[in-house]
Structure 1
Amino acid sequence: MPLSRARAATAAGFLTQGLILLSLTTRLPDIQDKWGFSDVTLSLVLLMMVLLAGVGSVIAETLAKRRDSALLLRSGLLLIAVAVPVLCLAPAEGVFIAGMAGYGIGLGVVDASTNMQAVALEHRYGRPILPSFHGAWTLGGVFGALIGLATASASVEVNAVVGVLPLVVAFAPFLPRDHGPTELPEALAVPWRPIVLVGVAMVLFYMIDTGVQTWGPLFLDHTFTTPERYVALAALAYLLASGAVRLAGDGLVARFGAVLVLRVGALVGAASLAVVVFSPTWQVAVLGFALLGAGVAVVAPLSFSAAARIAGGPDGAGLEPAVRQARVDAVIARFNQFNYVGALLGSVMTGLVGQDSLRVGFAVPMVLVLGIIPLATAFVPKVAEVVSAPRPSAS
């Protein structure tokens, strides 16, 4: 199968994940009103979803040792295709909670397996392509936010239709694992110490990313007299700026180096969150969210790429291709847990700390994002390895 088809299919998986998530989070004010949830109750529902996404990622890690990521991705997409209509059309609160639970597990499986597919393709191409995949996620998020804007005056039930997309994408031609033994020998220990340094930076990123997507629309809704049709602009502005920087990410890193790009991005992130926290109007807050997206955009793709390179070598070169890929897949699924630690901080802590004022909720990541500055050096060797890898032709 041509790599280009698998690459397009994986990009579609990323796009679907972003679209579904943002089409739901931009409707959180309406979901909150429909079920009469307080900010604390909504935070607890989101906590459940994030914890179950972590469970989904653990399931993916366990199965990755014996099953290829293509099968895992299809399964996760099908679960989401069922869960989204259930939570949108739920006739009772219990059914809504069940739908959110199913969506959380599917979210974790798809998060892990899309990144498994992406790092496998990056290895085949022999050059950095993770930013473009995460750019596809961002593009999907933009579409999801636009759906949120377009359906702002409609009932939440209308959003059930987005469940059709993961159903269709589940049958795309994803990259199969190489044939051969896939049981991981116990002796092949994974060097977790350097991976953890990269993972901490990813925690800080997802703390911000999830916080904006979850609470950004509510920040505009609760802090200002923002017209209802404009509350989704918080996430949309963030995603548009993030997507633009991700598309330019490979060139920026090649020209200025990962350390400088990440450190400048952290400073921009802190400054832009200050703009949000002290914004006098909702328009200024939207500008702050846009600057934030530009500042922190490249952290996640560089993190997954670095973790995959650590997991795949240097002893990985002597392994059976299927065994090497099984190890990388298992590591990526576990590394994805850093995503949910950050998501917990972003979606739950922001709401709990900011239950009286979301300005306070966003002040916490304004300080913590500066932690990326000392962690930036952990990315250099891994990015350098990817950039300097041989480039076999791929169509």
Structure 2
Amino acid sequence: MSPGPDTSDVRARLAVSSAFVAQGLLFTVLLTHLPQFKDRFGLSDGSVTLIIVMVTLIAGVGSLASEALAARSSSRVALRASLALAAAAAAVIGLSTQFGLFVGAFAVYGVALGGVDAASNMQGVAVQHRYGRSVINSFHAAWSAAAIVGALYVALSEHVSLDLGLSVAFAAGVVALIAGGPGAWLLPVTTSALPGVSGEPERDPGFLTRGPLLALGLAMAAYWAVDSGASSWGAIYLTDTLTSTDSVAPLAYGAYQALALVSRLAGDQAVQRVGAVTVVRLGALLGLAGTLVIVAAPEPAFAIAGFALTGLGLAVVPPLCFAAAGARARDRPHADQLVARLNVFNYLGALLGAALIGAIGSGFGMRAGFLLAVLLAGAVLALAAAFAPRPASSSV
């Protein structure tokens, strides 16, 4: 059993929460400023899509780079370095007037994004082990809350006509302050065995050859495919298929994110009461119901309710994927490897979800496109058993 948190663990939890806030804030500020960047450089929709795809692909590389840096030093170093790099890249993005520099800075941001994603979850898993109970959902809730704040901040910036460069630079400055301040409270690496797990450390987690871990990766990819579909095509589905107004259409993703925040705020207590497998199964059932409502919606209000139900159900999947992977590790470096490699499925799912739902929707209509989301929610339900903690004597 874990001895429970001490003062350093509480500070580490605050530091990890701050890192997730920084991550969610900066990502949202850059994403919601894309229309302004589009106007600055005269970009087409296709060019913006290519930039997003580039960042997503490079983020996968950044996740693996974060794994390598954590192995050589610690996830604390990897996270602080990635946050600092993200802040610097974002500042350049906001101030760029040359397109080549703008694209190059976005590529660097992609590396930093993957690094922050991986290292922040490494730290989140480490803090959860120190606490001896589920706390990882609270970190992802911090991300969701920061994303909402970021969107409101950009809306306010546009309302008061704040310069684009200054708007992005302010958000980048917040990230830099978090890297330099609370970042010092992050947990250092430890090679000791994790609570309740015995055995010698393994050099290679063999992620893609281990059935339970591959199942977690597939569940992660399925979630992010649904999430990407909601963010990329939700508003278009409401306007083009359900003939909603432009002012109503954004409520689909807004409802999805708002209920995702509720889900993550309640997720840790739910896990402590009924266990991760039950929470994932119930969440997947809610997600399955939500996606079916989206597909069958006769009018925008029903679709918005479906997106909300989907967010409420499925938002616990990523944090519980990382927690389950960490629970299967024999030592801290091994846990960091598993988290970094699992994180790559984030970007795989995001790419496939946006591309496949869009492709099916273009050919057969967006109702057919969102049928894929129904299948993906069903896949999470089928994979729920992989979220069970392994016995100490079992293999990864």
When normalised by structure 1's length, the TM-score is 0.82
> Is 1:304 paired with 2:315?
no
Query: Aligned with 2:72: secondary structure?
Result: coil
Counterpart of 1:177 (choices 179, 183, 188) is 188
Determine the C-alpha separation between the residues in 2 that align with 1:40 and 1:306: 38
Amino acid at match of 1:165: V
State the shift of 1:354 in Å: 4.2
Count of aligned pairs between the two proteins: 370
Residue of structure 1 in register with 2:68 after alignment: 62
Residue of structure 1 in register with 2:195 after alignment: none
Computed over aligned residues only, the root mean square deviation of the Cα atoms, in angstroms, reads 3.0
CA contact (8 A) 1:73 1:114 kept: yes
Higher deviation after alignment, 365-374 or 350-359:
350-359
Q: 1:222 to 1:207 in 2, by over 3 A?
A: same
> Is 1:369 paired with 2:384?
no
Query: Aligned with 1:275: secondary structure?
Result: helix
Determine the C-alpha separation between the residues in 2 that align with 1:367 and 1:156: 40
> Is 1:247 paired with 2:258?
no
CA contact (8 A) 1:70 1:175 kept: yes
Counterpart of 2:20 (choices 14, 23, 29) is 14
Counterpart of 2:176 (choices 164, 167, 172) is 167
Determine the C-alpha separation between the residues in 2 that align with 1:179 and 1:338: 26
For residues 199-250 of structure 1, what are the alpha-carbon distances to aligned partners after superposition, in whole Å with 9 as ceiling and x for unaligned? 111111111223333444565576656446x665443322221111112112
Gaps of 5+ in 1: 313-323, 386-395
State the shift of 1:66 in Å: 1.2
Query: Aligned with 1:65: secondary structure?
Result: helix
Determine the C-alpha separation between the residues in 2 that align with 1:330 and 1:175: 18
Q: 1:162 to 1:68 in 2, by over 3 A?
A: same
Q: 1:188 to 1:163 in 2, by over 3 A?
A: closer
> Is 1:288 paired with 2:294?
no
Query: Aligned with 1:102: secondary structure?
Result: helix
For residues 9-64 of structure 1, what are the alpha-carbon distances to aligned partners after superposition, in whole Å with 9 as ceiling and x for unaligned? 11010111112222333344554555555544433221111111001001111122
Amino acid at match of 2:185: F
Higher deviation after alignment, 359-368 or 297-306:
359-368
When normalised by structure 2's length, the TM-score is 0.82
Runs of 4+ residues deviating >6 angstroms: none
Q: 1:145 to 1:62 in 2, by over 3 A?
A: same
CA contact (8 A) 2:136 2:268 kept: no
Amino acid at match of 1:67: S
Amino acid at match of 2:10: S
Determine the C-alpha separation between the residues in 2 that align with 1:367 and 1:308: 27
Determine the C-alpha separation between the residues in 1 that align with 2:10 and 2:385: 32
Residue of structure 2 in register with 1:190 after alignment: 205
State the shift of 1:95 in Å: 2.9
State the shift of 1:350 in Å: 3.9
> Is 1:90 paired with 2:96?
yes
Residue of structure 2 in register with 1:128 after alignment: 134
Counterpart of 1:338 (choices 345, 361, 367) is 345
Higher deviation after alignment, 205-214 or 49-58:
205-214
For residues 307-362 of structure 1, what are the alpha-carbon distances to aligned partners after superposition, in whole Å with 9 as ceiling and x for unaligned? 011122xxxxxxxxxxx322221221112111111121234444454457655543
Determine the C-alpha separation between the residues in 2 that align with 1:280 and 1:84: 41
CA contact (8 A) 1:47 1:347 kept: no
Determine the C-alpha separation between the residues in 1 that align with 2:367 and 2:150: 25
For residues 104-157 of structure 1, what are the alpha-carbon distances to aligned partners after superposition, in whole Å with 9 as ceiling and x for unaligned? 111000001101111111111111111111111111122123224434555754
> Is 1:105 paired with 2:111?
yes
Amino acid at match of 1:372: V
CA contact (8 A) 2:204 2:334 kept: no
CA contact (8 A) 2:190 2:332 kept: no
Determine the C-alpha separation between the residues in 1 that align with 2:353 and 2:22: 22
The alignment-based identity, stated in percent, is 38
Residue of structure 2 in register with 1:327 after alignment: 334
